[in-house]
Structure 1
Amino acid sequence: MSLSLFSLCSFPTHADLWSPLDDEYSDEELSRRGFAGSVEVGLNNSTGNTETTSYRSRIEVDHFMIGWRNNYAFESDFKKDDESTSQERYKFTLKTQREWNDLEYTFGLADYENDRFNGLRDLITVSAGYGWRAWQADIAYLDLEAGPGYRRNDVEKDQREFISRLAAKLEWQISDTATFAEVFSSEIGQENTITRSDTSLSASLIGQMLLKLSFSFVHQTNPINDDGLFDETLETLDTRTSLTLLYRF
């Protein structure tokens, strides 16, 4: 016997981060709107020979001011099979962005992540840099970012290093009912390089109901074990695939 529930509730948002649809809003309109955000929740529960409970959640809020944008996000992933937890991850993100013109901006970014199963325990990352809209069309855009940063992993072991961060975001309105998005980042350090990718495809079903398929991965060149030591026997790649129903209003 199994029960599954996937849902997403979205408040009117600034086109889901740097969308070409942003152009329809003036600075005065964005300042008046103030806040926008979205909430995403996916749940799954199965009983019988195997009892499995899993969920994925994400909360995101944007704060708009003339020439500025602040983004706050929280996401979590959890999975438990019978009495054993096989996935547990929490991540908080704060980003502030100063837009200098239609194509260029500078940013400051702070992340906190705790993942029990891939060595990213109490991972704190801060970075700043330059962003550039490298390409924009009526139905698509590409943003690129680069800058220096600093990373501290596992407070008890106190592993620290300076990093260089590269990032990109592509969004493409394939048709009136389908959107493709890719978010990529790589934090390059001397001891460990952490690369992340999130690829998604969403399509309208009926009215405001959409179906979203996403695939994410985290790759580390030198993952650490529970003792805080780099371990060559550990897998360097962790992946996650999600299928959710989305409702927008």
Structure 2
Amino acid sequence: MMSKFFVGCCSLIACAVSIAEPLKGEAELGFVTKEGNSETQTINAKLQLSKDTLGWAHQAYFTAFNNASGDETTAEKYSIALQSDRKLDDRASLYMVVTHEEDHFSGFDYQSTIGVGYGYKVIEEDDRTLTLEAGPGYRVNSVVDGDTQSEVTLRLGEIYSWKFSETAELNQHLTIESGNLNTISHLGASVKSALTGSLALKVGVDIKYTDKVPAGRKDTDTETYATVSYAF
């Protein structure tokens, strides 16, 4: 039942993004070093789509990487995140977000979340913005060779962006989803510097912390990456 509901929510948000014109995007391809439940270096790919209108803002994120040594897979991860924001005024909004992740080395078959809540731009300036989000959510963790854990969560989010020069910017985000069974946090930071035209160089780090992990797994996964991005 939850999977059908999740797919339905993803479809609604994806349709809202895809039919809106013009659509902006950024594609990335580069190199990632992964530490934690898998220790490897491989190629990663990311895609971001966004649409901003007078009353709505839509965003979609897709990431993927896979690495193998001989016949042995050493890293494999796919994730998607979709968010729609209904603007209430210049600073306040109501949001709906759905995420799905399949990390074959995390001890989970998949992890899916859905959340709704209130967002507010605490800082709104020409060169920097800071947005805070809070609201209820629902999470499903499917443990490899184990039970499926479902629970209501409290979701807290923070998004910061700072354009510190004509050609460079810092982006940082933090998400904490806490329930009775588990607490999962994501922290990410990156610096992007324009090269020529639509091309830019991006370096960053993504950290995921899971309070309670399956037996034999580590609670922290770190991805350090360098990519070339193309904006369209």
TM-score range, shorter chain: 0.7 to 0.9
Q: Does 1:108 align with 2:91?
A: no
Q: Does 1:235 align with 2:223?
A: no
User: What is the aligned counterpart of 1:186 among 150, 167, 176?
Assistant: 176
CA contact (8 A) 1:33 1:64 kept: no
- Mark the runs of 5 or more structure 2 residues left unpaired by the alignment: 1-18, 33-39
The Cα offsets for residues 44-94 of structure 1, whole Å up to 9 and x where unpaired, read as 9xxxxxxx9832112222244430122222211222233321211111222
Which letter maps to 1:223? V
Indicate the RMSD between aligned Cα atoms, in angstroms: 2.4
Q: From the CA coordinates, give the structure whose radius of gyration is larger.
A: 1
Give the structure 1 partner of residue 147 of structure 2: 157
Instruction: Report the CA distance between 1:117 and its aligned residue.
Output: 0.9
Instruction: Report the CA distance between 1:146 and its aligned residue.
Output: 0.5
The Cα offsets for residues 89-142 of structure 1, whole Å up to 9 and x where unpaired, read as 111222111001000000111111111111342211111000000112221110
* CA separation of 1:244 and 1:60: change in aligned 2, threshold 3 A: closer
| TM-score normalized with structure 2 length | 0.80
Identical pairs, percent? 28
Partner of 2:119, secondary structure, is strand
How many matched pairs?
A: 205
User: What is the aligned counterpart of 2:44 among 53, 56, 72?
Assistant: 56
Partner of 1:154, secondary structure, is strand
Give the structure 2 partner of residue 24 of structure 1: none
CA contact (8 A) 1:90 1:114 kept: yes
- Mark the runs of 5 or more structure 1 residues left unpaired by the alignment: 1-30, 45-51, 225-230
Q: Does 1:218 align with 2:212?
A: no
Q: Does 1:246 align with 2:217?
A: no
User: What is the aligned counterpart of 1:119 among 97, 107, 111?
Assistant: 107
| TM-score normalized with structure 1 length | 0.75
